Amino acid sequence: MSDNNKLVLNSLKINPKGLTAYKILNLLQKSKSIQPMTVYRALKNLTKNGLIHKTNKNKTFHLCNTVHVCNTTEAHEHNAVLAVCNDCGVAEELKTDLFSKAIKNIKSKKRFNFNNFNLEITTTCKECY
C-alpha cells in the first residue's frame, strides 16, 4: 500500500463520522504538502480495494467495518450497507448479510449483476430522533 493511501486511510481511522475529500485534503495539508489529485487517487484505490466506502447522500468516505479482519494490502470484497442520518449526516456500515441474501435473488430484465453491490439507507440516527 502506498504512503498516500496509508495517510488517507489513517485520517479516516481517527474520524469515525467520515470525511469529504476536501476535509481529508485539508487535514493532510496541515502536516504534508499534498495535492488534491493525490488524495483523489488514494480514495479511488482504497474504494476499489474495499477498504473504504463513500456515501452518496453527503459524499463522505468511511472506513470499512471489515478492514480489521483482512490484510489491508490486499483487496477484499463485500456488499456494503450504509445507514446515513438525514439530519446530521453521520453514517454507519451495518453488519448484516440479510440484504446480500435478499438482493442476490433479484431477477433483472437488463441482467444486472447483484453479486457485488452497495446499499445506502437514509434514516434518522438515535441522537437526532
In a domain, 108, yes or no: yes
The range of the structural domain enclosing residue 95 comes to: 3-123
User: pTM of the full predicted structure?
Assistant: 0.79
109 by DSSP, 3-state: which? coil
In a domain, 128, yes or no: no
Q: What CATH number should be reported for the domain holding residue 116?
A: 1.10.10.10
In a domain, 64, yes or no: yes
In a domain, 67, yes or no: yes
In a domain, 129, yes or no: no
What the block records as the C-alpha cell of 127 is 441522537
Backbone angles phi, psi at 5, to 5 degrees: -60, -40
As a whole number of Å, the end-to-end CA separation of the chain is: 40
In a domain, 20, yes or no: yes
How many structural domains compose the chain?
1
Encode the chain (129 residues) as per-residue pLDDT tens digits. 889 999 999 999 988 788 999 999 999 999 989 999 999 999 999 998 889 999 998 899 998 876 554 444 455 567 888 999 999 888 888 887 788 788 877 888 888 888 778 889 999 999 999
